[in-house]
Amino acid sequence: MNQKKYGKLYGVGVGPGATDLITLRAVHVLNTVEVLAIPKSSELLEPFAWRVCSPIVRENEAQEKLFLHFPMTKDPEILIPAWDKAFLEIGKRLEEGHNVAFITQGDPSVYSSWSYLLEEAEDRWPGIEIEIVPAVSSITAIPAAIQTPLVDGRERFCVVPGTYGIEDLPQLTKDFDTIVLTKVGQVVPQLVTILKELDLLSNATYVSYGTTDRQRIVKDLESIQNENCDYFSMVILSIRKRKGVLRGQNCETE
């Protein structure tokens, strides 16, 4: 029995926000596929990932721009039907033999909606060819923007989603030298309280819309704790107890 032939499915990361940080491979894929699948969280606002990559996508009337709505919610009763509808639309194009690139902010393998599509792909379209195009991640782009190393020598770092993990900070600060907190916009007041209790408030730096022309860097988190902070924001907590080889080879590790 012949296996059904599908188009190729790509997961393409477009980076943290600056268009000129998009990789050459991503540019090639975005300009050669028949369909761009573009996730959006709002019916009114232009999707952030599309805003990042649209300047490098050439005019091509034959290429379809497939906008797919993914609500900003954790409610599975809302999310599951939305995802199923999106999968059906993507599937129609793949079954017609069209190559489809699903674009995602940052890197496809890091807190990305692409992961849900990847998990479903083989069950829905058996034997489909898949390629993931990695990207510059905000996890490395933001430390570059504030000129703070993530790790050096014997140091260790971890990445924690702000909406799920800040209650673990007391233990994490003992185990890691740098902590990257993603999507902290809604938890800055709680974060300030915890960091003050740990006497680490001065070690934290807030960055929103990193690498873009809207980039904002704040060293004093207390000054913004009453603001409506941006969703696309991150805090780098730089403790760095274990110094690198050049400066701390004879130092205690704790």
Please give the chain's pLDDT, 254 residues, in tens: 557 899 999 999 999 999 999 999 999 999 999 999 999 987 778 899 999 999 999 999 999 999 999 887 778 888 889 899 999 999 999 999 999 999 999 999 998 989 999 999 999 999 999 999 999 999 999 999 999 999 988 899 999 998 888 999 999 999 999 999 999 998 999 999 999 999 999 999 999 999 999 999 999 999 999 888 887 799 999 998 876 655 544 444 44
Strands (E), 59-105: 64-69, 100-104
Q: Do both 30 and 47 map to the same domain?
A: yes
Q: Do both 179 and 204 map to the same domain?
A: yes
Neighbours of 217 (CB within 10 A): 12
Q: Given this model, what pLDDT does residue 241 score?
A: 80
Position of tokens 């990042």? 52
Q: Do both 24 and 104 map to the same domain?
A: yes
Q: Do both 125 and 150 map to the same domain?
A: no
Of 133, 155, 183, the last residue of a domain is 133
Asked if residues 65 and 38 have their Cβ atoms less than 8 Å apart, the reply is: yes
34: nearest Cα among 66, 67, 70: 66
CA angle 184, 186, 187 (to 5 degrees): 65
195: nearest Cα among 156, 238, 226, 140: 238
What one-letter code names the amino acid at 253? T
End-to-end CA distance of the chain: 62
Neighbours of 117 (CB within 10 A): 24
Position of tokens 């800055």? 188
Q: How far is CA 44 from the centre of its chain?
A: 21
Of 133, 153, 183, the last residue of a domain is 133
69: nearest Cα among 113, 108, 101, 33: 113
**Domain presence at residue 112:** yes
**Domain presence at residue 207:** yes
What one-letter code names the amino acid at 35? V
Q: Given this model, what pLDDT does residue 252 score?
A: 47
What one-letter code names the amino acid at 85? K
Q: Given this model, what pLDDT does residue 76 score?
A: 82
Q: Do both 52 and 98 map to the same domain?
A: yes
For residues 102 and 100, give the distance between their C-alpha atoms in angstroms, rounded to a whole number. 6
**Domain presence at residue 2:** no
Q: Do both 176 and 119 map to the same domain?
A: no
State the pairing for strand pair 130-133/157-161.
Answer: unpaired
User: Which domain, by its residues, includes 181?
Assistant: 138-246
For residues 128 and 121, give the distance between their C-alpha atoms in angstroms, rounded to a whole number. 7
Of 99, 133, 167, the last residue of a domain is 133
240: nearest Cα among 153, 166, 159: 153
For residue 70, give the CATH number of its domain: 3.40.1010.10
**Domain presence at residue 148:** yes
Q: Do both 178 and 197 map to the same domain?
A: yes
For residues 135 and 27, give the distance between their C-alpha atoms in angstroms, rounded to a whole number. 11
For residue 198, give the CATH number of its domain: 3.30.950.10
Q: Do both 192 and 225 map to the same domain?
A: yes
For residues 198 and 251, give the distance between their C-alpha atoms in angstroms, rounded to a whole number. 23
pTM greater than 0.85: yes
With residues binned 3-state (H G I as helix, E B as strand, rest as coil), the percentages for the chain, rounded to 5, are 35, 20, 40
Which tokens belong to 19? Answer: 């268009």
Q: Do both 24 and 93 map to the same domain?
A: yes
Sheet of 35-40: strand order equals 64-69, 35-40, 100-104, 9-13, 130-133
Length of the chain: 254
Q: Do both 117 and 151 map to the same domain?
A: no
Domain count, the chain: 2
